[in-house]
Amino acid sequence: MREAESVARAIGADRTRPPNEIEKHAAQLIVEPQNAQEVAELVRACETDRVTVAPIGAARTLSQIRRAPVQIGISLRRMARILAYEPEDMTVVAEAGLTVGDLNATLAARSQRLPVDPRSPGATTLGSLIGAAHAGPIRAATAQAATPRESPTA
């Protein structure tokens, strides 16, 4: 655990925290980088120091597929911005920590939405949506909602 704390603090002690009740099943320590460069630095340092690391999203899936928590869980909570939005072109560029619910709230002002239907849009980040291929009840009932891996819009 000491190696993990040392690696995590390299990007800033203010972005390192203990896991919450759900996250503790997925990771021993949580790091919240602010940009892609910090994610890359963290992953590089973990590889060098042989510290286990994984993205955690809302920590609902990782704990189910791993026998033990990773040493460092990367939360993209601080990377939750819409970087570009062109409603007329129906294109949006957003960071992986943004939730589907927050994205759809922004898009709704122009009668648009991301055509996916995860179980909990307010808790499902774009990163976990794609990484875990989340799909919801509309996908099961009809062909109107695709998983993000099937959708050319994701």
Give the pLDDT confidence of 38-49 residue by residue, as tens digits.
999 999 999 999
Distance CA 58, CA 3 (A): 24
Question: Would the pTM count as exceeding 0.75?
Answer: yes
Token code pair at residue 15: 């972005």
The rounded distance, in Å, linking the Cα atoms of 73 and 4 is: 10
Question: Residue 92 is encoded by which pair of tokens?
Answer: 């949006």
**What are the pLDDT digits (tens) for 85-133?**
999 999 999 999 999 999 999 999 999 998 888 888 898 889 888 877 7
| β-strand partners of 31 | 16, 74
What is the 8-class DSSP label of residue 125?
B
Distance of alpha carbon 12 from alpha carbon 33, whole angstroms: 9
The residue among 55, 83, 88, 85 whose CA lies nearest residue 70 is: 55
Q: Are 23 and 41 in contact (CB under 8 A)?
A: no
| CA distances for 27 relative to 23, 94, 107, 138, angstroms | 6, 25, 33, 32
Distance CA(104)–CA(111), nearest Å, equals 9
Comparing CA positions, the residue from 123, 127, 134 lying closest to residue 20 is 123
Cα distance between residue 129 and residue 143, in whole Å: 18
Structural domain boundaries in the chain: 2-74, 82-141
What length is written for the chain? 154
Domain 2-74, second-level architecture: 2-Layer Sandwich (3.30)
Task: Give the pLDDT band (50/70/90) at residue 140.
Answer: low
DSSP state of 99: B
